[in-house]
Amino acid sequence: MNRPESPDTLRLKAKEVPGPVKRDHEPSVAALPVGTFLHEYRILSVLGSGGFGITYLAQDFNLECKVAIKELFPPSLVTRVGDRTVLPRANAWRDPFENALKQFLAEARTLASFRHPNIVRVRRFFETNGTAYMVMEYEEGESLFRWVSGRGCPNRRTVLDVIMLVLNGLEAVHRAGFLHLDMKPSNIVVRPDGSPVLLDFGAARRLTTDKGKPITAILTPGYAPYEQYSPQGRLGPWNDLYSLGAVMYYMVTGKKPVEAPARIKTDPLPQATVAANVAEYGAGLLTAIDWALDPDDRRRPQSVAEFRAALLDDDPSLRAAQAEPFNPALTGSPGKHLARAIGGQAEGLVERVMRATAQLGEPCLTLEPETAEGVSLHTFQLETLSLGEKVPAPPPVPPRPVWPPPYQVDRSSGHASRQNRIP
């Protein structure tokens, strides 16, 4: 984990807390001092802070390894008294902080159940010092923000390698009934082996709330969709997909997108098909990014599966291989043979399918249930990518978005024209 590079995260209150704001305690230094012990963990340094809390690097003296610890510390609601104790800044903030504490613990319990290679692992959580703490694995690596700013825009293959794994992790989050709601380059770490891991679920929220209560939002301008600026905004996977589209826009252009509220009436954001190198990334991939960045949440991709399919729609490596249809008779080393057809994703695909055989049946081991004689390798990949992850489909949300989106790309120029935008 790395210190977040984007300090411009905003906190939006869903509603004002009534009553006078009387300060009960004077503010003190926010972070716990270096050397502080929390059970078996000793604080080594501060990794970063945001609207919900402070993240520390710590030493686990039982397991003799480093961990990251997230402390619930919303600075607009609480202050620290002495070196440790966290108390509400005013009597009026006591109930909101208690609600935040309950939510933090409930979400930590859910996140601790995740076992996904592209989601940060939560080891344990506990209460002390008047607040709560979440202990996570410390991920060695570099934030995507620094990774891109230090190396320049990655090539198409690298973009897809990173984003496909992030999408797998995000899909697991959505399947558990959660939204991340703060996807940005500084919340994705690229490990030394090149694989990404999604961090900082401080803004994560369930897809539903009790009795229709508004949700307090943590958002980062440029990466948050317009609907997150309002308590009445429609919540769903499309929120995270806008943010991921913004992350991809940064990856292919090196620039942060324009803030969503400034894009509603007249959109000053250059489309990815104009701002990025079409020859390098392909018009299809860039059009998919523009689709995810549509300010109208009902015209974006509504699920990870839709966005994944759009990103791969014109993959040149798949197009080049379509002359040789997949042979379902291959049995000796499915990953090795499949790699010749669909590239580096083959081993991961085989592994996922094999893990799912108890639910999907033994034929999955041959990777052929969705394949017919002569089917193109492109179709084979799109159908089998989700083979090991089948879940009941969510109820459709009308109107259903379409692919291609309502604007088209002139493949010769890479330019796109948008129609029927938000008035």
The answer on pLDDT for 117 being more than 80 is yes
Query: What is the per-residue pLDDT for 385?
Result: 41
What mean pLDDT do residues 222-247 have?
A: 93
Residue with tokens 């402070």: 54
Q: Between these two residues, 346 and 386, which has the higher pLDDT value?
A: 346
- From the list 299, 81, 50, 72, the residue with the least C-alpha distance to 182 is 50
Query: What is the per-residue pLDDT for 346?
Result: 61
Structure tokens given for 221: 């301008």
Give the H/E segment covering residue 96. helix 94-111
Q: Are strands 178-179 and 142-143 parallel, antiparallel or unpaired?
A: unpaired
Compute the residue count for the chain: 423
Residue 398, number of CB atoms within 10 A of its CB: 6
- Confidence tier at 78 by pLDDT (50, 70, 90): very high
Provide the percentage of residues in the chain whose pLDDT is more than 90: 44
Name the least confident of 9-23, 37-51, 240-254, 265-279. 9-23
Q: Could you tell me the residue ranges of all domains in the chain?
A: 29-137, 143-309, 316-389
pTM over the 0.75 mark: no
Name the least confident of 16-20, 33-37, 352-356. 16-20
The answer on pLDDT for 370 being more than 60 is no
Give the H/E segment covering residue 66. strand 65-72
Query: What is the per-residue pLDDT for 98?
Result: 92
Query: What is the per-residue pLDDT for 336?
Result: 54
**CATH class of this structure's domain 29-137:** alpha beta
- From the list 229, 394, 244, 371, the residue with the least C-alpha distance to 308 is 244
Q: Between these two residues, 83 and 339, which has the higher pLDDT value?
A: 83
Query: What is the per-residue pLDDT for 6?
Result: 42
Provide the percentage of residues in the chain whose pLDDT is more than 70: 63
The answer on pLDDT for 239 being more than 70 is yes
What is the strand order of the sheet 37-38 is part of?
37-38, 41-49, 53-60, 65-72, 131-137, 122-128
- Cis before 399? omega within 30: yes
- Cis before 404? omega within 30: yes
Distance between first and last Cα of the chain:
41
- Confidence tier at 214 by pLDDT (50, 70, 90): very low
Handedness of CA 235, 244, 316, 411 (dihedral sign): positive
Q: What CA–CA distance (Å, rounded) separates 76 from 91?
A: 13
Name the least confident of 119-123, 197-201, 271-275. 197-201
CA distances from 253 to 270, 278, 381 (A): 10, 11, 28
Residue 377, number of CB atoms within 10 A of its CB: 23
Most confident residue range from 38-52, 277-291, 348-362: 277-291
Q: Helix (H, G, I), strand (E, B), or coil: what is residue 370?
A: coil
DSSP state of 154: P
The answer on pLDDT for 340 being more than 50 is yes
**CATH class of this structure's domain 143-309:** mainly alpha
The answer on pLDDT for 205 being more than 90 is no
- Confidence tier at 257 by pLDDT (50, 70, 90): very high
